[in-house]
Amino acid sequence: MSRVENKYPGLNLGDHHGSAHEGAESLVFGFWVFLMSDLIIFGLMFATYVTTLNPGAMAGGPGPVELFDINSALIQTLLLLTSTLTFGMASLSLRHEQGKRNLTVWLCVTLVLGLGFLSFELRDFAKMLAAGAGPDRSGFLSAFFGLVPLHGLHVTAGIIWLVIMLIQIHVIGLVPMVKTRLLRLGLFWHFLDIIWIGIFSVVYLWGLA
């Protein structure tokens, strides 16, 4: 078995993918730079949220114990973590050239799991807003709605990107451009899972401890 030359951090396609493997070196590196800049934004939002975990920032309003549904947060975690597994399977299918059908199936499963995550998250937000716990209620809630929905917006962008890729796979096939875009989408999707682990740990587990 020939040794695969790794040209960039992450799953490398391999020399048998020709120009897609060669061209991904600079494209994936540039996308890593984007993700690191995005990580700084999330880091600032996490820092802001942590500073509001005190009675003064809650302004006499509800706190984590009154607002958070740990069962819903756990379901969201399971959905998103499973979706990173299915996207990983899609990436392996792409690398080993198992065909458009196999790749499409794994991407569609990832899409369904992502939509399931968003549906639970939006339901939780709706319950909070109906109870008068909006971002204008306190500094704590302002920080919460600055952090958690920001991640939800990223997941929404990832879902839109995923739908576009499914269309491109069907219309123009697995050309080098589509392959490198799928590589970058995979990095983005796994990045969102890592951020969610932080949210689940800091916002929900710590908040309810």
C-alpha angle 44/48/51, rounded to 5°?
140
Q: Whole-angstrom Cα distance, residue 208 to residue 202?
A: 10
**What is the predicted pLDDT for the residue at 13?**
74
- Pick the more confident residue, 26 or 135: 135
Q: Quick one: pLDDT band at residue 1, thresholds 50, 70, 90?
A: very low
pLDDT (0 to 100) of residue 23: 66
The rounded Cα 6 to chain-centroid distance in angstroms is 25
Give the residue ranges of DSSP H helices in 52-175: 55-58, 64-67, 70-95, 100-130, 139-172
Q: Please check the confidence at residue 14 and state whether its pLDDT lies above 50.
A: yes
pLDDT tier at 55, thresholds 50, 70, 90: confident
Determine the pLDDT at residue 204: 95
pLDDT at 2 over 50: no
Mean pLDDT is lowest, of 3-12, 57-66, 162-171, for: 3-12
What residue ranges define each of the domains in the chain, with the CATH number in brackets? Answer: 17-208 (1.20.120.80)
pLDDT 10s digits, 78-114: 999 999 999 999 999 998 888 899 999 999 999 999 9
Give the pLDDT of residue 11. 72
Query: How confident is the model at residue 4, as a pLDDT?
Result: 55
pLDDT in the model for residue 5: 65
- CB burial of 111-145 (b: ≥16 within 10 Å; e: otherwise) equals bebbebbbebbeebbeebeeeebebebbbbbbbbb
CA distances from 2 to 15, 20, 196 (A): 10, 18, 37
Q: Judge contact between 178 and 186, C-beta under 8 A.
A: no
Q: Mean pLDDT across the stretch 13-21? A: 70
Q: What is the pLDDT of residue 146?
A: 97
Does the pLDDT value for residue 29 go beyond 90? no
On the question of pLDDT at 127 being above 80, the answer is yes
Query: Averaged over 49-71, what is the pLDDT?
Result: 92
The DSSP symbol for 2 reads: P
Q: Within a 13 Å sphere around the CA of 77, how many CA atoms are in the beta-carbon half?
A: 17
Q: Which two tokens stand for residue 169?
A: 């796979």
Q: Which SS3 state, helix, strand or coil, does residue 201 take? A: helix
Mean pLDDT score across all residues of the chain: 91
